[in-house]
Protein backbone atom coordinates (compact mmCIF):
# COMPACT_ATOMS: atom_id res chain seq x y z
CA UNK A 1 0.00 0.00 0.00
CA UNK A 2 1.40 3.37 -0.90
CA UNK A 3 1.56 5.60 2.10
CA UNK A 4 0.41 9.17 2.16
CA UNK A 5 3.27 11.48 1.21
CA UNK A 6 4.31 13.71 4.05
CA UNK A 7 6.56 16.70 4.34
CA UNK A 8 7.56 16.86 0.70
CA UNK A 9 7.97 20.13 -1.14
CA UNK A 10 5.70 19.37 -4.05
CA UNK A 11 2.83 17.05 -3.08
CA UNK A 12 -0.02 18.30 -0.95
CA UNK A 13 0.48 20.78 1.85
CA UNK A 14 1.95 24.25 1.56
CA UNK A 15 4.65 23.29 -0.94
CA UNK A 16 2.05 22.42 -3.55
CA UNK A 17 -0.46 25.14 -2.72
CA UNK A 18 2.15 27.87 -2.86
CA UNK A 19 3.07 26.60 -6.34
CA UNK A 20 -0.57 26.60 -7.48
CA UNK A 21 -1.11 30.12 -6.12
CA UNK A 22 2.13 31.38 -7.65
CA UNK A 23 0.95 30.08 -11.04
CA UNK A 24 -2.55 31.53 -10.86
CA UNK A 25 -1.36 34.92 -9.63
CA UNK A 26 1.41 35.09 -12.28
CA UNK A 27 -1.10 34.25 -15.01
CA UNK A 28 -3.60 36.85 -13.78
CA UNK A 29 -1.00 39.62 -13.51
CA UNK A 30 0.19 38.77 -17.02
CA UNK A 31 -3.29 39.27 -18.50
CA UNK A 32 -3.75 42.47 -16.54
CA UNK A 33 -0.46 43.78 -17.90
CA UNK A 34 -1.52 43.14 -21.52
CA UNK A 35 -4.62 45.29 -21.03
CA UNK A 36 -2.78 47.85 -18.91
CA UNK A 37 -0.08 48.49 -21.54
CA UNK A 38 -2.82 49.12 -24.10
CA UNK A 39 -4.87 51.45 -21.88
CA UNK A 40 -1.75 53.42 -20.95
CA UNK A 41 -0.90 53.77 -24.66
CA UNK A 42 -4.05 55.88 -25.08
CA UNK A 43 -2.09 58.64 -23.39
CA UNK A 44 -0.17 59.02 -26.63
CA UNK A 45 -3.27 59.08 -28.82
CA UNK A 46 -5.95 61.12 -27.14
CA UNK A 47 -6.02 62.64 -23.63
CA UNK A 48 -9.82 62.62 -23.49
CA UNK A 49 -10.03 58.94 -24.43
CA UNK A 50 -7.43 58.13 -21.78
CA UNK A 51 -9.40 59.96 -19.10
CA UNK A 52 -12.54 58.11 -20.08
CA UNK A 53 -10.90 54.70 -19.89
CA UNK A 54 -9.04 55.39 -16.66
CA UNK A 55 -12.33 56.55 -15.11
CA UNK A 56 -13.51 52.93 -15.26
CA UNK A 57 -10.61 52.10 -12.89
CA UNK A 58 -12.42 54.21 -10.28
CA UNK A 59 -15.77 52.41 -10.37
CA UNK A 60 -16.79 50.12 -7.48
CA UNK A 61 -16.56 46.87 -9.44
CA UNK A 62 -13.14 47.53 -10.94
CA UNK A 63 -12.14 49.06 -7.61
CA UNK A 64 -12.76 45.71 -5.93
CA UNK A 65 -10.92 43.94 -8.76
CA UNK A 66 -7.96 46.20 -7.98
CA UNK A 67 -7.95 44.90 -4.41
CA UNK A 68 -7.67 41.43 -5.95
CA UNK A 69 -4.85 42.57 -8.22
CA UNK A 70 -2.94 43.95 -5.24
CA UNK A 71 -3.41 40.67 -3.33
CA UNK A 72 -2.10 38.77 -6.37
CA UNK A 73 0.94 41.05 -6.67
CA UNK A 74 1.68 40.85 -2.94
CA UNK A 75 1.52 37.07 -2.86
CA UNK A 76 3.40 36.53 -6.13
CA UNK A 77 6.17 38.96 -5.23
CA UNK A 78 6.71 37.74 -1.66
CA UNK A 79 6.42 34.08 -2.60
CA UNK A 80 8.90 34.85 -5.40
CA UNK A 81 11.36 35.84 -2.69
CA UNK A 82 10.57 32.56 -0.91
CA UNK A 83 11.32 30.61 -4.11
CA UNK A 84 14.60 32.49 -4.54
CA UNK A 85 15.57 31.71 -0.94
CA UNK A 86 14.73 28.02 -1.42
CA UNK A 87 17.05 28.02 -4.46
CA UNK A 88 19.96 30.00 -3.09
CA UNK A 89 19.91 29.82 0.69
CA UNK A 90 21.48 26.74 2.23
CA UNK A 91 18.60 26.28 4.68
CA UNK A 92 15.91 27.48 2.24
CA UNK A 93 14.33 24.08 1.60
CA UNK A 94 14.28 23.27 5.31
CA UNK A 95 12.34 26.40 6.15
CA UNK A 96 10.09 26.52 3.07
CA UNK A 97 7.00 25.78 5.15
CA UNK A 98 7.66 28.51 7.72
CA UNK A 99 8.52 30.90 4.93
CA UNK A 100 5.19 30.18 3.26
CA UNK A 101 3.35 31.33 6.38
CA UNK A 102 5.60 34.38 6.67
CA UNK A 103 4.69 35.24 3.06
CA UNK A 104 0.98 34.91 3.85
CA UNK A 105 1.31 36.98 7.04
CA UNK A 106 3.33 39.80 5.46
CA UNK A 107 1.00 39.93 2.45
CA UNK A 108 -1.96 40.11 4.82
CA UNK A 109 -0.49 42.95 6.86
CA UNK A 110 0.42 44.97 3.76
CA UNK A 111 -3.06 44.35 2.38
CA UNK A 112 -4.65 45.58 5.63
CA UNK A 113 -2.58 48.73 5.32
CA UNK A 114 -3.70 49.29 1.75
CA UNK A 115 -7.35 48.18 1.50
CA UNK A 116 -9.13 50.74 3.75
CA UNK A 117 -7.41 53.61 1.99
CA UNK A 118 -8.27 52.28 -1.46
CA UNK A 119 -11.89 51.62 -0.47
CA UNK A 120 -12.07 55.15 0.89
CA UNK A 121 -10.86 56.57 -2.44
CA UNK A 122 -13.47 54.56 -4.33
CA UNK A 123 -16.24 55.66 -1.96
CA UNK A 124 -15.20 59.31 -2.26
CA UNK A 125 -15.31 58.98 -6.02
CA UNK A 126 -18.88 57.67 -5.87
CA UNK A 127 -19.88 60.49 -3.53
CA UNK A 128 -18.43 63.06 -5.88
CA UNK A 129 -21.27 61.89 -8.10
CA UNK A 130 -19.24 60.87 -11.07
Partner 1 sequence: MVTIETPRSPRNRKSANREKWAWLFMRASGVVLIVLIFGHLFINLFTGDGIKAIDFAFVAGKWANPFWQVWDTLMLWLALIHGTNGMRTLVNDYAEREGWRKSLNFSLWTICILLIVLGTLVTTTFDPCPDTSVVSALPQFCSK
Binding window for partner 1 (CB under 8 A); candidates: 7-15, 74-82, 95-103: 74-82
Residues from 10 through 29 that contact ligand HEM (CB under 6 A): 22-23, 26-27, 29
Distances in Å between the Cα of 38 and the Cα atoms of 30, 33, 47, 50, 75 are 13, 9, 14, 10, 25
CB of 5 to ligand HEM, least distance (A): 20
* Phi-psi group of 11: left, alpha or beta (phi > 0 → left; psi -120 to 50 → alpha; rest → beta): beta
Distance CA 22, CA 19 (A): 5
Positions touching ligand HEM (CB under 6 A) are: 22-23, 26-27, 29-30, 33, 36-37, 40-41, 57, 66, 69, 73, 76-77, 80-81, 83-84
Amino acid sequence: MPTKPTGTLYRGKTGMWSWVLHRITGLSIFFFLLVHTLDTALVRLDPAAYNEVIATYKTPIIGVAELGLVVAILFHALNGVRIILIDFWRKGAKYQNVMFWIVVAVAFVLFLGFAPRHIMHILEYIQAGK
